Amino acid sequence: MNGAQQSGPETPSVDEQAAQWIARLDRGDLTAAERKAFDKWATANPDNMQAVQSLSSLWGDMNQFTQYYQPVKKEAAISYTSSWPKAAALAATFLVALIGVSYFGYGPDFTDNSMEFATEIGDYERAGLVDGSSIELNTGTHIETHYSQKKRSVILLSGEALFDVAKDKDRPFVVAAGGSLIEAVGTRFNIQMHKNRVEVIVTEGTVKISRGAGDQRGHSDGHAVYARAGEIANISKDGHTDVAPITDDEWKRLLSWRDGMLSYEGETLAEVVADFGRYNDLEFIIADKGAGRVRIGGYFKKNDVAGFLEALEAGFSIRAESLDGNKVILRASN
C-alpha cells in the first residue's frame, strides 16, 4: 500500500478506508449517520470483509466492541477525501478485524448479530450481507437477519425479496416467512408474502420448505418439502405446500420488478390493480364486476400511475376517475 499523500478525491484502498473508519471509531462517539455509513461500507462488497475474516481467527473475546457499535439500517453512500500513511492503515486493518470478530459473529463468545433492512412503498434496495450473500428487497419489504457461527437466519416480516445465497455447508441459510421455513445452502430464490399464502420461486439450486416449530429462528417441525430450480411453491397458512414447474420466461416475468417493471399476462383487472397498488400509495376501487374480470396483459412501469391508467383506457376500455386524492375508481367504458 502506498503511504504517499494523494491529491484530489481519488478513492483510497480498502486498508485506507478501514483506517478512516478506525479513526472515527476511536473518536468514541459515532453519530447515527456514521454508524449507517460504516454498515454500508462493510456490506457493499465481499472484498471489504475478506481481510477482516482472514484476521478474525487470531482474536478471542472482543465483545466489548458490541457495546460500542451496533449495526443499523443501511443508508447513504460514503465518500472519501484523504489518504492515510501505511502504518496507520495496517494498524487500522488490525483493529477492523477486532471489531469484525464481535460485530459479524466470528468470535468464540458470539451469540447473535442482527441487522434490519426495509423499503418504503415503491422502493427497491439491494443489500449485501457479510457472508457474500445478497438480498434484493421489493416494495414495502421488512427483513431482519440474525447470523451466528452455526446458522444464518433471516426473517421476512413483510413484502417480497430475492435471495442470492453464498455457499456455506456448515451454516444453513434459513428464511422464516409466514410460519414456514425456507432453507438453502447455496442457491437463489424469491419469496413473496401474500395475505393467505407464501410464494417461493427457485431459480437456482434447491430449497427445503418446512413448518416452523413455534418461533422464527430456524427451528423446524421435521416435515419438509423440496423445491428445485425451475419450480414454484405455494405455502398455505396451515403449512400445506404445493410445488409446480415454472418456465424461465415465467419466473423472469414475475421478477421484472427488479428492473422497475411489472408484467401481466392475462390476469384479471382485480388481480392486476391489487399487485400494482403495492408500488403506489393508491386505493383502486372497481365499480362493476364486469370490469374486474377484464383480462390485462402488458408491461408497465411500477411507479407510473398515469401511464398505467392511460393504458387501461386505451387498450382495455377501462375508465379511471380520481377520488379524494389517493383513491381511483375503475369502471368499464360504455
- Rounded-to-integer distance, Cα 173 and Cα 49, Å: 19
- Rounded-to-integer distance, Cα 87 and Cα 208, Å: 48
When pLDDT is cut at 50, 70 and 90, the band that residue 54 belongs to is very low
When pLDDT is cut at 50, 70 and 90, the band that residue 87 belongs to is very low
Q: What pLDDT does 42 receive?
A: 72
Q: What pLDDT does 34 receive?
A: 64
CATH code of residue 302: 3.55.50.30
User: In terms of domains, do 94 and 139 share one?
Assistant: no
Domain that holds residue 126: 113-250
At position 254, the amino acid (one-letter code) is L
Q: What pLDDT does 195 receive?
A: 87
Q: What pLDDT does 103 receive?
A: 34
122 phi-psi bin (left φ>0, alpha ψ -120 to 50, beta other)? left
pLDDT per position as a tens digit, 275-333: 999 999 889 999 988 899 999 999 999 999 999 999 999 999 999 998 877 899 999 98
What are the cell numbers at 92? 487500522
pLDDT per position as a tens digit, 29-52: 556 666 667 677 777 766 665 544
Residue 122's Cα: distance from chain center in Å?
Answer: 14
Closest CA to 201 of 182, 220, 186, 185: 182
User: In terms of domains, do 295 and 268 share one?
Assistant: yes
Mean pLDDT rounded to a whole number for the chain: 75
User: In terms of domains, do 278 and 227 share one?
Assistant: no
Query: With the CA atoms of 93, 98, 100 and 101 taken in that order, what torsion angle do they form, in degrees rounded to the nearest 10?
Result: 140
Domain assignment of residue 122, yes or no? yes
Residue 67: is its pLDDT beyond 50?
A: no
Residue 146: is its pLDDT beyond 80?
A: yes
User: In terms of domains, do 237 and 281 share one?
Assistant: no
Question: If you average pLDDT over residues 1-6, what whole number do you get?
Answer: 40
Q: How far is CA 24 from CA 34, 42, 61, in A?
A: 8, 14, 22
Of the candidates 250, 280, 302, which is a domain's last residue? 250
CATH code of residue 159: 2.60.120.1440
**0.95 surpassed by pTM:** no
Q: What pLDDT does 158 receive?
A: 94
User: In terms of domains, do 124 and 240 share one?
Assistant: yes
Q: What pLDDT does 47 receive?
A: 61
Higher pLDDT, 73 or 240: 240
Question: If you average pLDDT over residues 238-267, what whole number do you get?
Answer: 94
User: In terms of domains, do 129 and 178 share one?
Assistant: yes
Give the chain's domain count.
3
Residue 253: is its pLDDT beyond 60?
A: yes
Tell me whether strands 152-158 and 173-177 are parallel, antiparallel or unpaired: parallel
